[in-house]
Structures are given as C-alpha cells and as structure tokens.
C-alpha cells in the first residue's frame, strides 16, 4: 500500500505525529498472510482505504450519565468531552493491535483522546457510515479512578469496510464493562481492535457475541499493568455459510497478583471458518498470577472449520494458570441422555446448542440486552440450529 | 410388561448381546448382575433406545396394563420415555448451561403432553419438584444449578433418582445407581426407589453388590454373562455370588451351552 498521499497531507497539515506513524507504515507496508498473525484473515482489503479523504470525526451526544459517540466519515466536531493528549502505551503490545491502532490513527490523522467525566456511567460507541462506505475510527478513553463505566461498542447500519481501534486506560480501581454484541451485522468486512490497559485494582469485564459476521477480525488486547487488576473475557462466535471470523485475544500479565479469565465459545456451521487465537503472557515480575483460559467449539457440519489455539507463556514462577480447548460435534450421548428423558431429537439438539451458547450470553448482566440477544439469536438461528440438528 | 426374546445387539459391528431372553411384570423388582463388560449397560441402553446400539435379531415387546403390545424396537428413545421407560445412567451426563429445573420441566411437560395430562407452569412445577426433592434429600440449590455440572458422583446418582421421581416411569432401568455412593447416600437412594416402586411399575437394577439388595428386595436375580442371561434365581443367588464369585455359575452355564 502506498501511504505517500497521506504523508503529503500530514506534511501540509503540519501533523508531525501522523507523519511519523505514516512513515513507519510506509516502511513496513501492510502485513501479509505469511505472517502468523494474519494467516487466516487477509489484511489486503486495507488497501481500499487508499485515496479516500478521511477524517476521524466523532459526534458526541450526552444525556445525563449517558454518552453516545457516533464515529463516522462525516465531518463533525466533538463537543462535551475533554480532549486529553494521546495516551501512552506501556508494556508489550501485540503486533496486530499495535498495527491496527497506528493504521487507523495514521490514516485518519489523529486519535480522539479524552478523559471521561465523572458523571458518565454509560457510553455507546457507534461506528457508522451514512453511505455504504469505509469507516475508520481511532479513539482513546481514560476512565478515572474508581469510576464504573459500561460501554457498548457497535458497528452500525451499513458499511463496506470498517477499521476501528478503541483504547481504554483504567485508572486505579476503575471498573469497565464492555459489550460487543452483533447479531445482525452487515455484509461488510471489518477489523475491530480493542485494547484495555489496567492500573492497580481496576477491573475489566468483556462480553462479546458476534453472530453472522460475514468477514471480521476481532482483536482484543489486555494489559494488566497494576497489581490486583482483574479481567474476565466471555466471547461467543456463531458463524455459518461462508463467514469468516478471526479472533485474536492477548492478555499480558505485567504486574503481580492479577487475575485473568477467558471463556471462548464457537458454534460453527456451513462452510464457515472461525479462528480463536488466545495468548496469555505472564511476565517475570507477575508473581501470584491467576489465569484461566478455555476455548470450546461445536462444529455442526463437515465443511465448517474452527481453529482454536489457546496458549500460555509463563516467565514467573509462582503462578496458577490453566488453558485448554475442547472442540467437537454435538455429543451423541448428550442427545441420547435428553431423548431418554422424553425430548425429541430436535428439541434435544436445540437445547444443547442453546445451553452451549448460554454460558456466554448469561454473562450479559443487563437483563434487557440479555433477553434481546437471546431472542434475536433464536429468531435468526433457531431454525438454522434445527436444520443442522440433522447432521448429528 | 416387558418381554424380550433372543435379543442380539451390536455396536460398531461388534456383537455384544447374543441371544438375551428376559421378562418382567408389573410390580416386580429384578436385579441384574454380571462381570464387567458382560453387556449390562448395553442391555440398559438398548431398552432405552440408544441409536448406536443396533438390534440385529430378536424382539422386545412392551405392554402397559390394559393396553396393547408395543413393539419397542420401533420407537425412538424419546418415544419410549413418553411410554414410561426410564434409564438411570451409570454415568449421568453433565449439561452446562441448562438448569436442572428447566431440564426437568421440559422433560416432564413433553411427557405430559404425550400422555394427555395437563402441563405445569413454572411455579407449580417448582412446588412439585421441591416436594420430590425430599425423596433424595436434595435442597433446592440443586434445582437451579446446571444439570449435573460439578455434582459429586453421589449427587449425580441422586439426581437420576430425582428425575425418576418426577417422571414416575412404568419401567425403570437403574444402571449401577448404587456405585460410588457412601453408606448414607446408598440408604437415601434405596429408600427413594422403595418409595417410588408400586404395583403398577417394574424396576430393573444393575448392580455389582449384594449390599443394595439388602435395601431393595429383588424378586429375581439374573446373571448376565457374555451377552446372555445365564442364570436366574431369587435373592439367594446374589448371596451365593457374593460368597463364591462368578466362576462357579459361569462354569455351570458353559456346560449347559456345550
Ligand atoms: N460404544 C461402544 N463401542 C465399542 N464397544 C462397546 C461400546 N459400548 C459397549 N462396548 C463393549 O461392549 C461390552 C459390554 O459393555 P457394557 O458397558 O454393556 O458392560 P457392563 O456389563 O455394563 O460392564 P460394567 O460392569 O463394567 O459396567 C464391553 O466389552 C464394551 O467394551
Ligand atoms: Mg455398565
């Protein structure tokens, strides 16, 4: 990809920061499928962002404790937020989310950075386009000490290509809950990157339900930088047809006495291809780390593919950590058990599929969102689950 | 109630039951004993309708009082359950994500629908199950936990008996329900089964231990060996097995076969 026009523009705008980023992007070029990080998901569509006049524009709406950010390609100004200087990174950064962050921020000439005000408890981040068009958005948010915030991240309406990067920095004792629920996505291609850095005693909870995304890369990076920080990630992928969903989770234990937990589940049918790559690093000084990671998958058809690679690298010695994967088809003995209690084969298979996904959906604390999610999955996939039930 | 003639069953093409004959009537309790791998669980699963266990020969007739014969082999597992067949599994399955009470209600209601009995709503059912839970001395926390998930071995077995209590089957097959139970749990489970058995239903228990039969008195004891019932007797047969082991009886029966 040629970043020249952007470099030119950065020069004209006197934007030294963007210039520097763009220069490094120009030097390294787009990653290719040869690199381990992009083996399953070609980043080549990023080329399409060339030659477009983009500006990272964000419209904020605030009502009481609820803040809505509309991130789109329209020229809008921001109001109602305090703009902070770009948050500095700390610790090891995964290659892919680092690249995406720089790509988005370079091409959109800057990152929207701000400190959350103390009244805000709810934040919606909507990435949307007015026309079927590319969307690009980089945003950085600092959550002040002890503040509790709930965030919904959504890709709205229709887009052809979406690349976004969201970065949260939690001050001491802050609590962040992020929901990424997409049950009726568009047909577009997207790469979404979320990074969360935690200070001591802060907590991050993540629940994602991605169903029916036609082509998506989902990067999540968590840095536990202060002692006694905790994170729990619950993620569910439901993919069918020719859909591609490429999940990369990366947790860094950079400080002692932190906890991390990942529960990943995938329901894959048709010819869909789903990847789960989960890496947990425990640095040398991160003693008394407590980390669990489990990936479970149900493959519902012969053509479906799930590649699950939970991994763990530990450099400290006083650590309790587990990781594992279990992938298979619906267990015939489970179906038989339910049938022996009077459920028909169809009811049994459906119940098992729902039981399987419920482990993640039940983690949505907000009752309305939880019930809506269940309902839309049932509406969209209930019939589909019944259809594939005959494969068992 | 149950009449099995010359039953042959294969799994993955390997013959496991090889000419099994068995009859049971309403109100009877049968014990089935036999060495490991002789085919007891296979027998249980085939009666419950496991699709992987293929019947290659023989007949299984099932008759409820005042009703006509049903060819059991023509029914899928769920249809058998609806006709009152119940299997307490040797290894009950865990189902994370489904609460015990939801599972029980789904099961109970689908059987009710079939039998033309009115279904129960959530609160009626909760009361009903709480009452039944007393039979196995379960407190209500077990109802809201996922089916068998994280249950101890003994709790899983008790949960099977709770399901039996809720579904009140005509024909119950208990596959080693006594294995892995401590003394108190064994007594609770046995008391539970005794409360549930009556003149209209039949109970078939697979066990390795005489101990269970001290609590639940069988009318008949059968020895299953190499896929056939090789000996049938009264409770004294179990006592003899406990003292002598299987060797003597197996030797006798092999003489008969030759
Ligand atoms: N699904 C299967 N695939 C292959 N072999 C099987 C299968 N199920 C049962 N068998 C074989 O059939 C034989 C009988 O098994 P079964 O479980 O019925 O024995 P059992 O009498 O219940 O033994 P135990 O007392 O140990 O419970 C065994 O040799 C077993 O390995
Ligand atoms: Mg057995």
* ipTM entry: 0.94
Would you state the pLDDT for residue A243?
93
Q: Mean per-residue pLDDT for B157-161?
A: 96
Instruction: Kindly list the residues of chain B whose beta carbon comes within 8 Å of any beta carbon in chain A.
Output: 45, 48-52, 76-78, 80-82, 86-87, 89, 92-93, 95-98, 103, 106-108, 110-111, 114, 146, 163, 167
Q: Are B230 and B249 in contact (CB under 8 A)?
A: yes
| C-alpha B38 to ligand 2 mean position (Å) | 8
Q: Mean per-residue pLDDT for B55-63?
A: 94
Q: Which of B86, B93, B110 sits opposite A337 (nearest CB)?
A: B93
- Tell me which of 3.40.710.10, 3.20.20.60, 3.40.50.300, 1.10.3720.10 is the CATH number of domain B26-50+79-257: 3.40.50.300
Q: Give the H or E element holding residue B236.
A: helix B235-244
- Is residue B168 pLDDT above 50, yes or no? yes
How do the domains of chain B map onto residue ranges? 26-50+79-257
Half-sphere exposure of A304 (CA within 13 A, CB side): 23
For A354, nearest residue in chain B (alpha carbons): B97
For residues A107 and A138, what is the distance between their CA atoms, to the nearest angstrom? 10
CA separation, residue B219 to residues A255, B30, B236 (Å)? 67, 6, 10
pLDDT tens per residue across span A191-220: 999 999 999 999 999 999 999 888 999 999
| B173 vs B67, more confident | B173
Ligand 1 pocket, B45 CB below 6 A? no
Q: Are A276 and A308 in contact (CB under 8 A)?
A: yes
For B50, nearest residue in chain A (alpha carbons): A336
Atom of ligand 1 nearest to the CA of B42: 18
Q: Is A347 on the interface with B (CB under 8 A)?
A: yes
Which residue in this structure is represented by tokens 């029916």? Answer: A212
Q: Give the H or E element holding residue B9.
A: strand B2-11
DSSP string, A161-228: EEEEEEEEEEPTT-EEEEEEEESS--S-EEEEEEEEEE-TT-EEEEEEEEES-SEEEEEEEEEE-STT
For residues B26 and B198, what is the distance between their CA atoms, to the nearest angstrom? 8
pLDDT tens per residue across span A148-157: 999 999 887 6
Q: Report pTM.
A: 0.76
CA B136 to chain centre: 17
For residues B73 and B32, what is the distance between their CA atoms, to the nearest angstrom? 21
Q: Give the H or E element holding residue A58.
A: strand A57-63
Indicate yes or no: CB of B81 within 8 angstroms of CB of A340.
yes
Substitution site in B7, B33, B35, B39 for ligand 1 pocket (most atoms within 8 Å of beta carbon): B39
Nearest to B110 by CA among A310, A69, A343: A343
Ligand 1 pocket, B248 CB below 6 A? no
CA separation, residue A294 to residues A261, A262, A384, B96, B198 (Å)? 8, 6, 26, 14, 47
Indicate yes or no: CB of A340 within 8 angstroms of CB of B52.
no
Would you state the pLDDT for residue A388?
46
Question: Which residues are CB-neighbours of B158 under 8 A, at least 6 positions away?
Answer: B136, B137, B138, B185, B188, B189, B192
Would you state the pLDDT for residue A1?
83
Q: Is A13 on the interface with B (CB under 8 A)?
A: no
Mean pLDDT of chain B: 92
Indicate yes or no: CB of B93 within 8 angstroms of CB of A351.
no
Would you state the pLDDT for residue A385?
53
pLDDT tens per residue across span B198-223: 999 999 999 999 899 999 999 999 99
Would you state the pLDDT for residue A79?
37
% of residues, chain B, pLDDT over 90: 81
Would you state the pLDDT for residue A83?
45
CA A324 to chain centre: 21
What strand order describes the sheet that includes A244-253?
Answer: A82-83, A112-115, A134-143, A161-170, A189-198, A215-224, A244-253, A273-282, A305-314
For residues B211 and B183, what is the distance between their CA atoms, to the nearest angstrom? 10
For residue B55, give both structure tokens: 């019947």
**Other CB atoms within 10 Å distance of the CB of residue A221:** 24
Ligand number nearest CA of B42 is: 1
10-residue block means of pLDDT along chain A (392 residues)? 86 84 91 86 81 56 69 41 53 78 80 78 82 78 92 82 91 96 85 95 97 92 97 95 94 97 93 95 97 93 92 96 89 91 87 86 91 84 53 37
**Mutant choice from B93, B108, B145, B166 vs A, greatest count of A C-beta within 10 A:** B93
| A157 vs B173, more confident | B173
Residue A232 sits at the vertex; the CA angle it makes with A198 and A62, to the nearest 5 degrees, is: 65
DSSP string, A214-281: SEEEEEEEEEE-STT-EEEEEEEEEE-TT-EEEEEEEEEE-STT-EEEEEEEEEE-TT-EEEEEEEEE
Nearest to A22 by CA among A8, A39, A7: A7
Ligand number nearest CA of B39 is: 1
Measured between CA atoms, how close is B138 to chain A, in angstroms? 20
Would you state the pLDDT for residue A53?
52
For B164, nearest residue in chain A (alpha carbons): A341
């Amino acid at each position: 990809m040629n970043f020249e026009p952007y470099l030119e523009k950065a020069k004209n705008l006197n934007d030294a920061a963007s210039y520097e980023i763009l220069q490094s992007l120009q030097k390294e070029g787009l990653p290719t499928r040869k690199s381990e990080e992009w083996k399953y998901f070609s980043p080549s569509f990023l080329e399409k962002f060339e030659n477009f006049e983009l500006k990272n524009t964000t419209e904020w709406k605030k009502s009481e404790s609820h803040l809505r950010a509309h991130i789109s390609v329209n020229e809008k100004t921001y109001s109602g937020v305090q703009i902070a200087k770009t948050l500095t990174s700390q610790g090891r950064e995964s290659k892919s989310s680092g690249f995406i962050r720089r790509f988005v921020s370079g091409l959109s000439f800057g990152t929207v950075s701000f400190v959350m005000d103390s009244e805000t408890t709810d934040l919606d981040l909507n990435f949307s386009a007015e026309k079927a068009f590319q969307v690009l958005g980089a945003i950085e948010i600092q959550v002040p000490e002890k503040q509790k915030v709930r965030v919904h991240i959504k890709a709205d309406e229709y887009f052809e290509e979406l690349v976004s990067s969201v970065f949260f920095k939690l001050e001491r004792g802050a609590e962040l809950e992020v929901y990424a629920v997409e049950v009726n996505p568009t047909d577009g291609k997207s790469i979404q990157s979320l990074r969360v850095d935690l200070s001591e005693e802060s907590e991050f909870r993540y629940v994602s339900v991605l169903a029916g995304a036609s082509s998506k890369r989902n990067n999540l990076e968590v840095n536990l930088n202060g002692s006694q920080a905790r994170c729990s990630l619950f993620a569910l992928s439901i993919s069918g047809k020719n859909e591609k969903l490429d999940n990369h989770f990366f947790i860094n234990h950079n400080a002692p006495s932190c906890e991390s937990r990942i529960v990943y589940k995938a329901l894959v049918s048709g010819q869909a291809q789903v990847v789960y790559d989960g890496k947990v690093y425990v640095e040398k000084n991160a003693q008394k780390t407590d980390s669990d990671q489990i990936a479970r998958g149900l493959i519902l058809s012969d053509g479906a593919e799930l590649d699950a690679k939970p991994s763990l690298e530990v450099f400290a010695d006083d650590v309790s950590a587990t990781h594992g994967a279990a992938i298979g088809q619906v267990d015939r003995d489970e179906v038989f058990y339910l049938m022996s209690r009077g459920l028909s084969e169809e009811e049994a298979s459906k119940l098992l599929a729902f039981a399987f996904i419920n482990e993640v959906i039940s983690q949505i604390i907000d009752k309305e969102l939880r019930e809506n999610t269940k309902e839309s999955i049932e509406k969209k996939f209930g019939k589909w689950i019944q259809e594939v039930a005959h494969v068992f | 109630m149950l009449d099995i003639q010359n039953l042959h069953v294969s799994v993955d093409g390997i013959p496991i039951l090889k000419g099994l004959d068995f009859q049971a009537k309403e109100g009877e309790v049968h014990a089935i004993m036999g060495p490991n791998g002789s085919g007891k669980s296979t027998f249980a699963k085939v009666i419950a309708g496991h699709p992987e266990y293929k019947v290659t020969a023989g007949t299984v007739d099932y008759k409820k009082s005042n009703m006509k014969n049903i060819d059991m082999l023509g029914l899928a597992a769920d249809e058998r359950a609806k006709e009152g067949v119940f299997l307490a599994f040797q290894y009950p399955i865990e189902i994370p994500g489904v609460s015990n009470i939801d599972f029980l209600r789904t099961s109970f209601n689908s059987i009710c629908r079939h039998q033309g009995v009115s279904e129960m709503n959530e609160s009626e059912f909760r009361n009903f199950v709480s009452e039944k839970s007393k039979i196995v001395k379960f407190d209500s926390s077990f109802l809201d936990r996922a089916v068998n998930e994280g249950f101890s071995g003994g709790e899983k077995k008790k949960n099977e008996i709770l399901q039996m209590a809720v579904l009140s089957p005509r024909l119950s097959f208990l596959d080693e329900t006594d294995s892995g139970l401590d003394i108190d749990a064994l007594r609770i489970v046995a008391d539970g089964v005794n409360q549930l058995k009556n003149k209209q239903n039949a109970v078939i228990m697979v066990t390795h231990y005489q101990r269970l039969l001290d609590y639940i008195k069988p009318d008949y004891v059968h020895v299953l060996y190499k896929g056939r019932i090789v000996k049938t007797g009264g409770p004294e047969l179990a006592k003899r097995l406990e003292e002598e082991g299987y060797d003597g009886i197996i030797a006798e029966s092999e003489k008969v076969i030759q």
